Structure formats: C-alpha cells, structure tokens
Structure 1
Amino acid sequence: MLSTAAHNGVTKKVTKPKSKSHSEHLMKRVSRACLHCRQRKSRCDLDSSGSPGTPPCQRCLRDHRDCVLGSSNRGGRRVRKPKSSSHDMDSSSSPAKVMQLAPNSTPAPAEPPRQFSRPYQPDHYGRSDPPTASTVNMDDDDSASTTDSAIGSVPRNPSDAWQCLTNVAKRGAEIANIEKAGDHYSESTRRVKLNGVQEGQPDSGIKAYRLVKNGSLTRENVSQLVARYANNFHPYLPLVPRKYFDPAALDSFASQEKHLLTAVLTIATKDLVDTPGYHEICSKYMHELISGIAAGADCDVEAVEALLLLAEWEPQGLRPKIEAVGRGEEDRAAWMHVGLALRSGYFLGLDRTSFRNDPGNDAQVDGRKRLAWTSCYISDRLISVRIGRAFWSRGPGPMTGLVSKDFPSLQPLTTAEEDYARIFQALLDLTQLYGNVHDVLYSGMRTSNQMMLMGDYVKYVDDFRNAIERWNRLWGTLNCSPHIKVTLQMSYEYLRLYTNAFAFQAAISQALTLKPKEDAHSQREHLRATFSSVASMQDARFIYASVDAAKSYLTILVNSVDPEKHLHFMPLRYYLYSIYAAVFLYKARSFGIMNAEEERGVRLLINDTTKKLHRASAGPDDIGSRYARLLELLWKPKSSSSSSDTQELLRKDDNVPAGALPNTRLPDQPYMQYSPMNDFSWLDLEAVGDYVSGYQIGNPNMLGMNTGTYQQHGPYPANSEAIWPVQNWQVDPNGNLLF
C-alpha cells in the first residue's frame, strides 16, 4: 500500500514493496502535479492511466475533469530546461516561458482560483515575466531560493555582507510600499478633476528638480544650458551619457541624475556675464549636493562623474574668495573634488569594473562605470602631477589593458561623429606615462635628492624620453577634430617639460655641492658661471629639451588655439600648463642659458601668451585674466617694478574689457636683474604668487639681507624684505623641488 504526506502537490515520502529496480525510481522526489491537485494542495496520482507520470490523474479521472499538468517551480527563479516528451514544451520555446499542457477545450474550474494580495514584483536577479497560472503556487523551497538569489554572491568582507542585507531589506520595503499603494489606488483614481488632472499628483521629472521647482530656472533655461554644455564643454571630457543631450530625455536626466545635471548647469553658467545669477544659483545647489556626498548621502556613479567634471573646470561660484592674481586655488579645489570622487567610486565598487570577467552583467552599465573609474584614475594622476602630491587611486589594474572598445559609450554611432573612444585611449596611455615619471623621478624629497647626486636619474630620463616619443609616433597622427587634437599635443609637450626639467634640477644640485658653504652672492655667481656654457655640461641634452618643450607648449597655445572658441572652454589644466611653462622659462632665463636673441623671443612669446589668456576670459575674474596678471608681474621689467605699478596690476578693474590691458613694450634687461637663487618652484603657483606680490617666502632657517643690498640683485618689488636661503635651497620643507 502506498502512504504519502503530500504538500503543494509534491510527494514527500514514498514506501512500496522492496523491488530494487522500482525502489530507486520511487526514492526520487516527484515535483509534477496537475493544476487542480496543486490548487487543493493534495497528492496528484498520475499512475492511474496506465502510463506512470502522465495525466490524467486519479482525482481528475474520478471527477471527469481535464487534467492539465503544471510545471515544476523548484529552485526559486531558476528555470530548468525541460526533458523532451510528447507532453512537454517544445525545445525551441524561450526558457523564460512556463511549461504547460493546453487541452482542446477549457474546463470550468470547480473552485475559483486563489487570489494573492501580494502583487508581482520583478526580480532583479532573475526573470521578469509576469506570473501565470502555473507559476502562482510555489513550493516551500522557493522562498528560500528567492532569498538566496537576492543576497547574491558570497560576501568577501563585512561591508559586502551589510550591503547584501540592505538589498534584501530594500526589496521588502519596496514590496510593502507597493501593497500600500495598491490599497489606495482605486481611491486616488476616483479623485479626478474635470480637466482630467489627478488631484494632489506630485511633480515629477524636470518639474521636481530643485532649481525648477523653486522657480530659479525654467525648463527652457535648463534645456538651453545642457545644449550649451554639450556643444562647448562635453568634447573635452565626454562623461555625460549622450542620451541626456536629447531634449526629450530632460525629465529622466533630472529625476535620475541630479548630481550630474547640477554639475553640467554649474559649468555651463560659469562664464555667462549677462546672467551671473544663474551661476550663483547653480553653484549653491551644487555646493549643497557636494556637502551631502561628503557627509555620506546615498549616491551613484553619476555623483562621481559630477565631481570629476567640476575638478576639470572648477567653477568660481564654488570658492568663497577669488584673488585678483591666480595662486593655484583651482588646483587645491580640484585635488579635493578628485579625492571625494575616488572615495565614492571605491565605495560604489567602480574599481571592480576594470576587470572584464563577468559577461552576465549589463554591458552598458558596466561600460559607464568603467569609464567613470578610468576617468578617476586619469584625474588623480594629472592633479597629483600638477601639485606634487602622492596618488590616491590604484588605477584600473596592471593586467587590465583597457582599450577603446572597453568604452562603448564613447564610440561613434556614425562615421561623421567623433571617435572619443580612441581619443580617450590616447589620453589614458599618456596619463600612464605621467604617473610613471612622477613615481620614479618625483616620488619624494629624499629619494629625488639621492638620485640627483648619484646620477641614477639619467637612465630613467632617457627611457621616459623614448617612451614619450613612441607615444607621439603612435597617437600624434590621430584623426580627430583640430581643437581636440591640440589638447593631446599640449599634454605631450608638457610631459616632455616635466620629464626633462628633473635633469635640469639635478644639474643645479650637483653644481651647488661644489660650494656648499658659500654665501648667497658666491653661489649665485657660481651657478651663472656653471650654466654659461650649457653645451659643455653632461646634461646639456636634457636642459635644451626642457627649454624647447616649454617654448613649444606656449607656441601651440599662441598659434593653434582660438582663445574665444576653444581655449575659453578647455579644462583648466591647459591654462595652468601654460603658466608652469612660462614660470619655467623665467627660472631658466635667470641662470643665463639664453643668449640675447633667444631671450627677446621668449619675452615676446610670454607677451603673446598673456594676450591669449586675456582674450579667452569672460571677465577680469576669470581664470585666464587672473593668471595673465601673474605672468605680467613675473616678467615685468625692472623699470616698472615700483610698488604703485604692482598694486595697479593687482587691482581688479571691472571697467577694462578682456584683452584690453596695455601692451607694454618689454625692453632688454641685463642678466644680473634676475637671480637663480629665487626660492620658489616652477611647480608651486602659490609660492610664485607670493613672489610677485612681495610677500616673504621661505623657511625660518633663511638668512635675511638688508633691503638696499637686495634691491641690487633681486626681482622683488621695492617695498619687500629680502630673504635668502643659506643651505639646501634646492628643496623646501614640504618636499617640493625649488627649480
């Protein structure tokens, strides 16, 4: 006799006479039952027809019902491939469909189907097909399987475990909200006005965006600013998904990407002179969102992208004070924004997208995250190189080898579009060289000094020079728009300068070791004598290459970049590279390595550079005008170095239009006006600002000189107090090289 304990149409235990051939078959759990027996939660005997395991069952045969065989739901959302049978689903059907045997005629059910109050919730981890008659009733094992699938993979650390539990809790909260909303749905649909608008319906899309909801901006304003950003700023850093540049997608942009949209609006309004209130409004909201991210507010990849965009352009509205002369404040702000983006990216797990080992994930989502994380790496390397600080990011990974095809959102859809994927790959390869140069040559004060004095730097500089030239041969002929290609050329020239300038500093350090105990005047004369014949020096090729790279960068800026159409919209690093190059030439000239004719050419080049910077500025407070004033003060001739002239250049004159500052003729000056012992680095713009403003710079160990003696030899303004280092002037306490 057969005894069973049935539940949900599944036979739990089977006992029968001990027949070995048949006992193995009966020990297996049977999960097949007809729909009628499943509804009654009773045992379904499919052996009554003479064909074991096939309908009709004994109950349907007795009640004269059509016996419809249901499918197995064991295993939660996992769909198994059915075995081939005359009653099974055809093998060509989709796996997401449910196996069901359809009779010739539809019988009237004896009992109404059971209604479930819990609505259907699509599973994020499995199929999203709506439930059917054969999938409503599930075994007890299904709930456990669904929970396991919601948790996902095995947690690797406490943070992963916490995130898994959070996902399960969120799903439960969402289901509860849907049930609550379903109870009141019928009531809300009845509250309809005569014009057809639901009463009390909340705003959504762009209407719910803060700046539109409070009346600061209109939908048309936002759409115009997004279009302005897409045309002028986006080509230099294409992080914003291109779908959001469609006006029809403005609602989804505002509802799903508020951090990114606010960053776009803040950057797009930063140079609007006619409507300055827009930039103030957008900056305040952006500042609030950044504060929320820093405080641990929930955010996604779009917040990381927003921070990276701000770091590249650094709108003035985000800073509490704007100096009349640039002093590197933008670098400091960019350093903080990139750091916050990296921390957020690590927390969101963006670094895991660097490895292409999960083909089951959404390629579009992974592509966007990979692009954002790679941009974090690029921004981190470039800002660290500019300010001389250590890296924060570990990078995409040594075995990744990211190429253009890894960034699908940047690939052109038509032949007429820009191939941003290849441009991005070129910048990524160049950034890797930047990082290697910084890690090896500029890794730290002690390491750099030892390398300079021992001469180990020569082989590294030569290797880096060869690698840089290989990059130029590979990517220098890249087919792209001229205003995009010129940014790659400028980055290439600055990397040449950054690499070869280290050897210039090494030559200075080696020369100073020969007279370590002399006073400042003797050291100055010794350095002039040493560099008076650069061709005879061991590092002559590096010194010449560094000066050539600085002049080449400024030449590209002056001759190949339109100040109003292109330079005005370029990321700030291209402005600052020009300032670094100009300061480097000032330092190099003070050593007397230029003859009179070359010096006149350099002075004219600096003069043209300041004109370009003024023309590229939207006003006197813009980045171009502020740093043009810095160069004007630095390269100012001795005859105009009085305190009144200095204060005149430092004063902000709102009535003077951009580019209308007087074109002062720069006369030839004797070498002795400039001292190679000026204690500021060409990589430290804050110290350069102190230098031209007449502030005291240096450290407490420096020995002061009287003002009268100093004015004969130094380029400080007449009202400044001279201070000269006595020993170890080639590095400062912070570890910055002082060349």
Structure 2
Amino acid sequence: MALWMLLFSTIFYNMPANVLLPQYLHETIKHESFLLTAALVVASRDRSDLAELHQSIWAHMRHLILDVVLGMSTIRSVGCVEGLLLLGEWTPLTLGQNDDGGEGAAWSIVGLGVRLAYLLRLEESSFRADKEADPAMLRRRLAWTFTYLSDRQISIRMGQAFWSRGPALSARFTAEDFPSLQPQYASGDDFASLLQAQVELTTLFGNAHDILFASKQRTAELMVRGDYTKYIDDASRAIVAWDLVWTPLTAPSHLKCCLRMMEKYLRLYVNAFAFQAVLYRASLSGTDVARVSCFPHSAMASPDARMVYEAVDAAEALLRIAIEDIGPERHLRYMPARFYLYEIHSAVFLYKAHAAGAISSGKHAQTASLVRRFIGVLEIAATDTDHIASKYAKLLNGLWFHKGGARGDTTRSRGSEERVQSDEVGNLNDFNQVDGNDENHDDTGHLPSFDEIGLQPLDWIESVEGLFSMPAAFPWDQSIY
C-alpha cells in the first residue's frame, strides 16, 4: 500500500485518508473491504513482480463486482461507489485479450457506480442543508461529485449519453464546500480548489458536448451551415477565463499537469469540430477526402483557419506536457487511462491534420519529431509490453513511421510470446509491408495518405462522436474518424 499512498492517492484524492493507514487496517477490512480491494487491484496492476498476486486480487474483485450487479445489500455503501469509480479510472488489465484501452469496461463500471450512487441517494448531498454538514454527509457529497466527474468524462470520450444528472444546478459548490480537501497549512496543497477547477472544466466539456453533438442531424446541420463558429468562440472565451482563474492553483505539479491536459484537450475537442466540418463539407461535394487535400492552398486559405490552427496548437501543447512536464517513470506510468487517451488522440489528430493538408509539408518534420519524442516517453513509462504506454507506443510507431515495434523494445511481457503478438501488433506488421520500405527506415519526410495504411474515406458521421471515440485500434478502425 506504500505505492498507492505515494503515487495513486494524490490522483484519486477523494478516498478517506484513514482507509489506507496501517493503524486502521482492521476497521478497513471490516467496513471498507470493497474499496480496499479496488485500491489493491490498482496498486498491483502494473507491477510485473506482483502479477500472480494481482490476478488473485482481481479474481476476488470480480466476485465483489458481481455482488454489486446482483444488488447485494452487503455491498451498498459509499465506499463501494468510491471503489467502482477507482476501477473506472484504472481499469484492470485483461491479459490475453485485445481490448479498447479499457474504455468499454470503464463505461460499464462507472455506470454501476452511478446506479449504486442513486440507490444510496447520494444525489441528495448535492443540495445545501441549513445545518452544518457532518463528516458522513461531506463524504457522500464528495463521492457524488466524483461520480458526476467520472460519468461526464467517460461518456464524452465514448460519445454516450450521460448517466447522472450531476450536482444540483441550484447549489454551485466551491472549494469551501469540501473542507476535508482544503490545505492543512498556509502553503499546503489545495485539493478543494483543484476539485472545483475540475468540476468547472468538466461542465464546459459537457456543455460543448451537448451543443456540438446534440444529435447526428443537428451536428450535420451545424457543419453544413457553419453555425458552429459562435459556439466555438464562446467556448474558447470560457476556456481562457477558466485558465486565468485556475493557473495560480496550489497543487502537486503532476496534478496541475493533469488539469492542464484536460484544458488542452477541451481546446482540441472544441476547435477540431471546425476541422472535421471542412472534411465533412468536402465529402458532401464529392471530394475523395482520403486522397485529395481538403486544404489545397494551406489552412490559412480556409474560412476555418483560426480554429484549425487552434486545434493543431492544442494537440501539440498536449504532447509537450507529457514530454516536458511529467516524469514518465514517477507519474505518467501510473496515470489513469484517460490521460493517455488525451495524448494519443492528439497524436492521431496531428496525423489526420497533415494527411488532410491542414499542416504544411514544411512543418511535418517538426511535428514528426514531436511525436517521436512522445513515443520515446511512452516507452520509458511502460513497465512491460502489456502496459498501456507500450501498446500505444507501438500503435503510434505504426501510424506515423510504419514501424511495428517500439524503439529499443526491451520491456518484459507478463504473458506468452503468442499473447504479446496480438492482433493489433499483427496489423502493424501488415502495414509495414504496405509501405514497401525497410521496417527500420524512418521516413520522417513523408506522411502516408489514408489509403496507404488501409484507411477508407472518412464516414465519421456514422459515429456522432467520430473524432473523439478512442478504441484501441484507433489508427485503423474507420468508425472512429
């Protein structure tokens, strides 16, 4: 549990502090067994030396989750909700199987947490009471707030409807409403303000999602008529205002980096809508957007130039945070999967932007160098070939540089050689053959078009979230574009 206390507890900081303290272990086992088991699953998941122990704990965890599904009364507690949200952030590894980066499992687990939260009536804690809240009520309020955050974040990433209604609109909670998270001394870390910043940023995410992706028909109308510009401008102003308020926040550096990653991803999420609109309008006019540039005279000649450049800048800024500001072995290695997905999505967007002509050929070497540095950071962060960082490093190498394996791949696998050579890595080898070049040759001066690596024309509108859904095989799964 020392690893948990050092690395994970500051990211998932709503857990009661006494739950993991040795002197309270007996009480924790008796009253918080679900939460404790979830913490042990997460703490052991990326430890190759604890692989067998992790599998044993995970097997027990699955039985506890089944009890939640069956509505067992012994599982109905705030700690159970907290444990489910914890598993939603760090989805246990499914060894021997191709997965979607854990997003499908996270969606289901968070959904269980939301339903259990409603069963426990945690939403009632989102209303301010006349009397001063006791510790139990404050814990319920904190659990409900994190339920809202987890639900919005996973739903937006997957393009799904929201499970929960979130905190009551009549009660706009601030840092003062979470006394257990407030700094213990003058220069201490202010987790309460960090939570308020997260809630406000997640609210912006939700509003952008509801307006730009209300329905397939509405999204298509916005793109054809160009009405989206006013919403993107309003969202951009709101992001700037949020940034001015929360930049001075006092919090651990890696948590501030997480917050910055969320803010940059929101910028990308909003402004990339304009980029996708250009491609959509071109496809309606009969242009083969997989083979013909949608920006023949550069992005500057497009009416959407400002927003396209803003999206590219946000994507590059996201990669730089991971490269320059986060320690790959100390912090990136243990971050929740969603932060990896923010980064991976940025790299994929930059690929799409160049392939569509929005990024000039002259700038490609600089962009490719940035992606290469990011891949190097992922390789350092990976503990073995089963780690999410290792998998995405291989995928990005295949997409950008036609390489099936990560550079200097010396990490150990927890499974057999057959399992390491999964379908997604096999697909990478197929694409290496398409290029016709030696697999060790990095052609950084040339970025292949969509058809060169097997992508079909971008029928993204079939998935309302198109650009923002993140299956594991993202470079080659047509449905996400």
Q: TM-score, normalised by structure 1?
A: 0.57
Give the whole-Å Cα distance in 2 for the aligned partners of 1:468 and 1:677: 34
Give the whole-Å Cα distance in 2 for the aligned partners of 1:524 and 1:561: 35
Give the whole-Å Cα distance in 2 for the aligned partners of 1:303 and 1:407: 20
Residue 488 of structure 1 corresponds to 259
Indicate the SS of the match to 1:235.
Answer: coil
Residue 417 of structure 2 corresponds to none
The 5 A counterparts of 1:534-613 are 534-613=299-378
The 5 A counterparts of 1:622-641 are 622-637=387-402
Pair 1:335–1:672, CA change in 2 (3 A): closer
Deviation sequence 1:398-433 (CA, Å, 0-9, x none): 111011111122123234542211111111111110
Name the aligned partner's letter for residue 341 of structure 2.
L
Deviation sequence 1:434-473 (CA, Å, 0-9, x none): 1111111122211100111122211111100100110011
CA contact (8 A) 1:592 1:671 kept: no
| Higher relative contact order (CA closer than 8 Å, sequence separation 6+) | 2
CA contact (8 A) 1:378 1:431 kept: yes
CA contact (8 A) 1:638 1:673 kept: no
CA contact (8 A) 2:400 2:447 kept: no
Name the aligned partner's letter for residue 606 of structure 1.
V
Residue 331 of structure 1 corresponds to 103
Q: Residue 440 in 1 paired to residue 211 in 2? A: yes
Pair 1:684–1:295, CA change in 2 (3 A): same
Name the aligned partner's letter for residue 399 of structure 2.
L
Pair 1:583–1:269, CA change in 2 (3 A): same
CA contact (8 A) 2:267 2:311 kept: yes
The 5 A counterparts of 1:334-733 are 334-359=106-131, 363-415=134-186, 417-513=188-284, 515-516=285-286, 520=288, 527-528=292-293, 530-637=295-402, 650=425, 665-669=442-446, 678-679=457-458, 681-686=466-471, 688-689=473-474, 691=476
Give the whole-Å Cα distance in 2 for the aligned partners of 1:524 and 1:480: 44
- Identical-residue share of aligned pairs (%): 36
Name the aligned partner's letter for residue 271 of structure 1.
D
Name the aligned partner's letter for residue 569 of structure 1.
Y
Structure number with larger C-alpha Rg: 1
Deviation at 1:272, TM superposition (A): 1.6
Residue 12 of structure 2 corresponds to 237
Residue 79 of structure 2 corresponds to 302
Equivalent pairs counted in the alignment come to 445
Give the whole-Å Cα distance in 1 for the aligned partners of 2:216 and 2:389: 32
Give the whole-Å Cα distance in 2 for the aligned partners of 1:665 and 1:479: 42
Name the aligned partner's letter for residue 331 of structure 1.
E
Residue 28 of structure 1 corresponds to none
Deviation sequence 1:609-661 (CA, Å, 0-9, x none): 11111211111101111111111111134999xxxxx9998269xxxxxxxxx
Name the aligned partner's letter for residue 476 of structure 1.
T
Deviation at 1:278, TM superposition (A): 1.4
Q: Which runs of 5+ in 2 are unaligned?
A: 406-420, 428-438, 461-465
Measured on the aligned residues, the alpha-carbon RMSD in Å equals 2.6
CA contact (8 A) 2:42 2:92 kept: yes
Pair 1:673–1:379, CA change in 2 (3 A): closer
Give the whole-Å Cα distance in 2 for the aligned partners of 1:578 and 1:639: 20
Give the whole-Å Cα distance in 2 for the aligned partners of 1:529 and 1:413: 55
CA contact (8 A) 1:619 1:625 kept: yes
Give the whole-Å Cα distance in 2 for the aligned partners of 1:565 and 1:251: 30
CA contact (8 A) 1:267 1:313 kept: yes
Indicate the SS of the match to 2:67.
Answer: helix
* Among 51, 56, 62, the residue aligned to 1:287: 62
Deviation at 1:373, TM superposition (A): 0.4
Give the whole-Å Cα distance in 2 for the aligned partners of 1:258 and 1:452: 50
CA contact (8 A) 2:101 2:337 kept: no
Give the whole-Å Cα distance in 1 for the aligned partners of 2:456 and 2:156: 24
Residue 165 of structure 1 corresponds to none
CA contact (8 A) 1:342 1:392 kept: yes
Indicate the SS of the match to 1:619.
Answer: coil
Give the whole-Å Cα distance in 2 for the aligned partners of 1:383 and 1:433: 15
CA contact (8 A) 1:637 1:667 kept: no
Name the aligned partner's letter for residue 349 of structure 1.
R
Indicate the SS of the match to 1:546.
Answer: helix
Indicate the SS of the match to 1:236.
Answer: coil
CA contact (8 A) 1:322 1:621 kept: no
Indicate the SS of the match to 1:391.
Answer: coil
Pair 1:651–1:673, CA change in 2 (3 A): closer
CA contact (8 A) 2:450 2:456 kept: no
Deviation sequence 1:581-629 (CA, Å, 0-9, x none): 1111111111122223311111111111111112111111011111111
Residue 723 of structure 1 corresponds to none
Indicate the SS of the match to 1:339.
Answer: helix
Residue 269 of structure 1 corresponds to 44
CA contact (8 A) 2:201 2:242 kept: yes
Deviation sequence 1:499-550 (CA, Å, 0-9, x none): 001111112222333x23x6x4xx556x516443321221110000001100
Deviation sequence 1:152-208 (CA, Å, 0-9, x none): xxxxxxxxxxxxxxxxxxxxxxxxxxxxxxxxxxxxxxxxxxxxxxxxxxxxxxxxx
Residue 315 of structure 1 corresponds to 92
Residue 415 of structure 2 corresponds to none
Give the whole-Å Cα distance in 1 for the aligned partners of 2:302 and 2:248: 35
* Among 35, 47, 53, the residue aligned to 1:278: 53
Greater mean alpha carbon deviation, residues 270-279 or residues 425-434: 270-279
Pair 1:391–1:670, CA change in 2 (3 A): closer
Residue 659 of structure 1 corresponds to none
Pair 1:421–1:663, CA change in 2 (3 A): farther
Name the aligned partner's letter for residue 355 of structure 1.
F
Give the whole-Å Cα distance in 2 for the aligned partners of 1:590 and 1:273: 39
CA contact (8 A) 1:259 1:302 kept: yes
Residue 408 of structure 2 corresponds to none
Give the whole-Å Cα distance in 1 for the aligned partners of 2:65 and 2:82: 12
CA contact (8 A) 2:279 2:294 kept: no
Deviation at 1:479, TM superposition (A): 2.1
Deviation sequence 1:38-60 (CA, Å, 0-9, x none): xxxxxxxxxxxxxxxxxxxxxxx
Comparing both structures, which one devotes a greater share of its residues to helix?
2
Indicate the SS of the match to 2:46.
Answer: coil
Name the aligned partner's letter for residue 239 of structure 1.
N
CA contact (8 A) 1:629 1:649 kept: no
Q: Residue 253 in 1 paired to residue 32 in 2? A: no
Q: TM-score, normalised by structure 2?
A: 0.86
Pair 1:235–1:663, CA change in 2 (3 A): farther
Name the aligned partner's letter for residue 123 of structure 2.
D
Name the aligned partner's letter for residue 78 of structure 2.
V
Name the aligned partner's letter for residue 348 of structure 1.
L
Give the whole-Å Cα distance in 1 for the aligned partners of 2:116 and 2:296: 49
